[in-house]
Structure 1
């Protein structure tokens, strides 16, 4: 059932992404305000791209245009174009909520949280809401804890079933909130087969006493993505281990180097096995194959 939900969700996202307004006129209705959704946010420095929400309140008859600026704040300030990048400081809000898109820079230093502030400095089509003009961002260090330190951008290499070299830019991410069930247990690796939406779970363990641990691709339980394949139609991709010509759910386990810059996985072939949609029947089609897996950064 979760595979069907994933497919329907992806279809919905596609439809929503296609809907945009061609009306660039400013709002002229009265009693409309715009402000930041939250006063503070905490984000891991390994997060990559994230959004800072901007919210319009009131009935509008046109778009609201917002300009933001960023500034260093706190005892350990985050610096623009060093610790983070802002995609665009001018936001066109058409449907009540807009986002300031920011990308963090993942360094390898253990440091106190770095902070900066995003502030609305100009608005057209709305008044800037009192006491809601700014959001302070705390960039949480991800290098002191191993679960966080594994997160970020990696190069995934190996060979396919024909022995041809395979190389993909991937990102490892995990739960940011310690109250989440997956925190310190499960990581997710995205970008497999060069597809941004192709994601596989990695179970994770680490013993602080012995300073040893491992990660492993979890097989057969989770959908990696849903795609409409030419010639065979919509299918769901599920990770499997192809061993001795048979489909296996045995994990492929890896360990990391002392400097946390290399992960090497043991024997096994990671395969994206296709399941039919919507009846979820297994097939012998494969979206990708990769073995002799290594992650480097």
Structure 2
């Protein structure tokens, strides 16, 4: 059973315990955005004014919008009655604790409304209601790329061609308001290339996904510095167009599988080469037949 979590709480035994000073309660914001995968979320109610007794607030939940979230299906509220004790402070916070239900269904964002329906020991002012939007993480496949992967293929040096397999970590932007969110991923690859010394690499992937077709692309970004050694060496990825080097992305397609299953393997075109390139000196290594495998 979930326990109600509030900034300060106490059961009120009688009306004599309630606040008699001037105090108001209001949702801290008229809207809240959270993720389906967020787990337990605290939605704050602001209490303003000095209190000489307890304040108790009761809330209700209602379906809202064209794709409403359903209580006890898409979310659960721990308790709809929340208490805060007397305090000499001029402000305080109590929280409505909501547990999000994480399903595997791809759907539009869902919404519901919380409303303060009564308050003992305070007046309801400001935001009596707040609209909660639950963002669907099953359609946000960008974040599903985060984690451990293996990058494998063939690598060519002056001594010939050999197979390689390296563990890498893919991360990305978590702030949904940031420009890179849902667009750019970062690959961290320690000890990825050996050129007489083991070279750590970090490079970017351009991410794209179309929910309507359930298909996307991942493109290795070329033309950016991805590795350095001392103050004298730096390298970047480049590719070629059959005639000369270019800084076009090396791009692989991917798609959801049966029942919208996320792919565990992404294969880059065999015809594309990725050059570990030092400006002014040329290519030190050539990578081909690249494949990303989820670990």
Structure number having the greater helix percentage: 1
TM-score (norm 2): 0.48
Q: Which one has a bigger Cα radius of gyration?
A: 2
